Amino acid sequence: MDTLLSSEGDSQRTQYPYVTGTSIIGIKYKDGILMAADMGGSYGSTIRYKSVERLKQVGKHSLIGASGEISDFQEILKYLDELILHDNMWDDGNSLGPKEVHNYLTRVMYNRRNKFDPLWNSLVIGGVKNGQKYLGSVSMIGVHYEDDHLATGFGNHLARPILREEWREDLSFEEGVKLLEKCMRNLLYRDRSAVNKLQIAKITEEGLTVSQPYSLKTFWNFAAFQNPTVGATGSW
């Protein structure tokens, strides 16, 4: 009887996300993939950590970025380390590309969802292999797709419209970074969980580089920012 009526305290699964990261933005550009993320880790509505790295390399050809629960992202990285290690043990001259990594993660996320034990993350996977650029995403319940530009979290609402207007297939590296910074600045203004400390990762046929953390120039004297409740019905 005690087993059947065991308390929630005995559960080992993530019942609710505790420390979370906000939006990831990824785009294709002329030579490869660019991805941007800030470094905030929110404990509820409190920005508790400001140096959380959410962009990581996977094998030789892939890059992953994650929104959502940080501890679940660490678990996903363990899975990916095992996947890449097992692949390398074949020593057959082949290596997993971004499409294979994306497909693997769609199965992992959907499998965990079916166990009612989801990994509370939205993931963006990008990379370049054999001259082919790849960019895909997968949600915490296994919904997945590919596109030329992707965003998770608030970025889906606040950054994708900018990307739809301004993204081009022949963007240079400098233009791509400028576009990502525009999106991240918009998120900084509008998303309470965003922090002004970000990294941008670039992956091409030559390899992966992740920028040192840096801050964006901002302007907070817009008229709408001075007293945002003016004219709002029922405001204080």
Contact 61, 95 (CB under 8 A): yes
**Residue whose entry in the numeric block shows the structure tokens 């319940």:** 141
Q: Which two tokens stand for residue 157?
A: 């609402």
Q: What is each CA distance from 143 to 47, 65, 106, 124, 208, in whole angstroms? A: 28, 16, 7, 12, 27
Query: Token pair 């990824």 is at which residue?
Result: 26
* DSSP code for 9: G
Strands of the chain, DSSP E: 19-21, 24-29, 32-38, 41-43, 46-49, 55-58, 62-69, 121-129, 132-138, 144-146, 149-151, 198-204, 207-210
169: exposed, middle or buried (Cβ count in 10 Å: 0-12, 13-18, 19+) = exposed
Helical packing angle, 70-89 and 98-114, nearest 10°: 130
Catalytic residues: 14
CA distances from 166 to 92, 179, 226 (A): 42, 8, 29
